[in-house]
Structure 1
Amino acid sequence: MVEIFDNIRKLYQFSAPCPALAAYIEFYSETSPEAMRHHVGEAPFTVKMFPSFTPTIWLNLGTPYQLRNGQQLHLVDEHTDILLLRSDIVERRNLPTDNIFTVKFNPGGFEAVFGIAQTRIGHDVVNVNEIIPATILRKLKRLNNFDSRLSFLEQFLLDKLAATKAQVHYLQSVQQVIQTFCASGMQLNNQELANRQHLTEKTMYRYFMQAIGTNPKNFFATLRARTALTDYISHKDGFDHLMYGYYDLSHFYKDVVKFTGRRLSTQE
Structure 2
Amino acid sequence: MLYNKLKPSAAFLPYVNSYFFWEDSTPRTVPFEAESPPNGYTAFVFNYGDPYEVHQPEGVYKTSPAFVAGQATSSYRLVLPGNIAMAGIVFKPAAINSIFGFSIRHMKNRRIDLESLLGPEILTIPEQLAEAAGLEEKKGVLEEFLMHQLNTRNVKMNFVDEAVELMIQHKGRINIQELADQLHVCKRHFQRSFLQKVGLNPKEYAVLLRLGNVCNLLIHQQEINWHDVILDAGYYDQAHFIKDFSSFIGRNPSVYYKFNKELLSQLNR
Give the structure-1-normalised TM-score.
Answer: 0.81
**1:72 to 1:143, Cα distance in 2 relative to 1, 3 A:** same
CA distance in 2, matches of 1:62, 1:187: 39
Cα deviation for residue 243 of structure 1 reads 2.8
1:251 deviates by: 2.7
**What letter corresponds to residue 160 of structure 1 in structure 2?**
Q
Which residue of 68, 74, 77 corresponds with 2:55? 68
Does the residue aligned with 1:73 lie in a helix, a strand or coil? Answer: strand
Q: Does 1:52 align with 2:43?
A: no
Q: State the partner residue of 1:213.
A: 199
Match of residue 11, structure 2, among 1, 8, 20: 20
Equivalent position amino acid for 1:180 in 2: L
2:152 to 143, 163, 174: 163
User: 1:184–1:53: structure 2 CA closer, same or farther, 3 Å change rule?
Assistant: closer
Q: Which amino acid aligns with 2:143?
A: E
The residue type paired with residue 198 of structure 1 is: H
Structure number with greater CO (CA < 8 Å, separation at least 6) is: 2
Q: Out of 247, 250, 267, which is 1:258 matched to? A: 247
Deviates more, 1:87-96 or 1:99-108: 87-96
Structure 1 residue 135, shift from structure 2 partner:
6.0
- Alpha-carbon distance in structure 2 between the residues aligned to 1:50 and 1:229: 7
Instruction: Map 1:159-238 onto structure 2 (within 5 A).
Output: 159-169=148-158, 173-184=159-170, 186-233=172-219, 234=221, 235-237=223-225
The 1:185–1:49 alpha-carbon spacing in structure 2 relative to 1, beyond 3 Å, is closer
- CA shift, 1:21, in A, is 1.1
Equivalent-residue separation in structure 1 for 2:173 and 2:143 (angstroms): 36
Aligned counterparts of 2:225 and 2:10: Cα–Cα separation in 1: 37
Deviations 1:55-78, CA, capped at 9 Å, x for gaps: 22221111121222432113336x
RMSD in angstroms over aligned alpha carbons? 2.6
Report if the CA contact (8 A) 2:34-2:77 is conserved. yes
Distance 2:162 2:188 in 1: 16
User: Is 1:247 aligned with 2:236?
Assistant: yes
Percent of residue pairs identical: 21
Q: Which residue of 1 aligns with 2:20?
A: 29
Shift of residue 182, structure 1, vs aligned partner = 4.2
C-alpha distance in 1 between matches for 2:135 and 2:171: 36
Q: 1:228 offset after TM fit, Å?
A: 2.4
List runs of 5+ in structure 1 lacking aligned partners.
1-9
**Structure 1 residue aligned with 2:95:** 109
How many residues align? The count is 250
* CA distance in structure 2 between the partners assigned to 1:182 and 1:53 by the alignment: 9
Q: Is residue 2:136 matched to residue 1:136?
A: no
Contact 1:112 1:161 in 2 (8 A): no
| Unmatched runs of 5 consecutive residues or more in structure 2 | 259-269
| CA distance 1:139–1:214, shift in 2 (3 Å) | same
What one-letter code is carried by the residue in structure 2 that aligns with 1:17?
P
Deviation at 1:140, TM superposition (A): 4.0
Whether 1:85 aligns to 2:64 is: no
Task: Please state whether the residue corresponding to 1:99 is helix, strand or coil.
Answer: strand
Could you tell me how far apart the structure 2 residues matched to 1:134 and 1:223 are?
Answer: 31
